[in-house]
Structure 1
Amino acid sequence: MNSTRTQSGFTLIELMISVAIVAILAAIALPAYNSYITKSNLKSAEADLVALSLNLENYYQKQLVYPVSTASGVTQIQCVLLGSPSPCTSPTSGWQPSQASNFSYSISATATTYTVTATGTGASVSGCTLTLDQGNNRSLASCSPYSSWL
């Protein structure tokens, strides 16, 4: 009786080639994915600033002045928009940012002007600063490779 054993499985070379192919694909896909995430975060922050600006314009239409205040943080901004007194800690309604985990927001306003700012705090947008004012002037700073609103 002649019994031969057939071997099945992969050789070490085949496995190493497979791992190398996966590594090459990951090296190509990861930067593209990170760029997509950064761009997505910036677009959301831009939308948040536009929504905040619309809230300020709505306030202006009702009061004929912008809320004279400098505020940072979502709660304080909401208080300003609602015209709440200074010790406001939990507003019942108002502007709610979608990117609160990746950006910190602030308002600087006089009776006739305002500037709203989003400063990146998340990993992919750290240091990015987006601004919007009452004249719809928009700027983006310190956010390579982007140099203007998307």
Structure 2
Amino acid sequence: MVVVAILAILAAIALPAYGNYVLVGKTRTAQADLRALSAALENHRQRTLSYPTATPANVAAIKSAFPAWSPAAKAADFGFSVNSSGSGYTVTATGAGKLSGCTLTLKQDGATTNSGCLVGW
């Protein structure tokens, strides 16, 4: 009986910690996807001397505009958008499901923000 009680206590501690660990991992994946998307925008700037003026608002549109970019984050976890002008851009990842309320942004000058996420940049 004592063993069962000890296992129950360990499970009560370990399961929530594991759940947070998984959510932090998904957030880190979205951050890496934003950096990769930023690299695609910077590559465009190097080739054309300006940032693209398109503002794709979902993963399919972004992949169409930047075929080399392929997000590792699942669509069920994060949505991505780009707001770009000839002189700058902001890329955004917005959490969904258990990550709802988590918003990550990255700008052309390297400035990052996060709101409602378990982990910062």
Q: Shared fold by TM > 0.5? A: yes
Other-structure match for 2:38:
53
Instruction: Identify which of 6, 23, 26 aligns with 2:11.
Output: 26
Q: Percent identity at matched positions?
A: 45
1:71-111 Cα shifts (integer Å, max 9, x gaps): 12111012223xxxxxxxxxxx3211011331000000000
Q: Which runs of 4+ in 1 moved over 6 A?
A: none
- What is the TM-score of this pair, normalised by structure 2? 0.91
2 CA distance for matches of 1:26 and 1:126?
26
SS of residue paired to 1:71: coil
Name structure 1 gaps, 5 residues minimum: 1-13, 82-92
Query: Would you tell me which structure has more helix in proportion to its own residues?
Result: 2
How far off its partner does 1:67 sit?
Answer: 0.9
Other-structure match for 2:63:
78
Q: Which has the higher contact order (CA 8 A, sep 6+)?
A: 2
- Report if aligned partners of 1:106, 1:116 keep a CA contact under 8 Å in 2: yes
Instruction: Identify which of 68, 83, 86 aligns with 1:111.
Output: 86
Indicate yes or no: 2:77 matched with 1:98. Answer: no
How far off its partner does 1:56 sit?
Answer: 0.4
Other-structure match for 2:114:
140
Please identify the structure whose Cα radius of gyration is greater: 1
SS of residue paired to 1:130: strand
Name structure 2 gaps, 5 residues minimum: none
Equivalenced residues, count: 120
- Report if aligned partners of 1:46, 1:130 keep a CA contact under 8 Å in 2: yes
In angstroms, what is the RMSD of aligned CA positions?
1.3
SS of residue paired to 1:72: coil
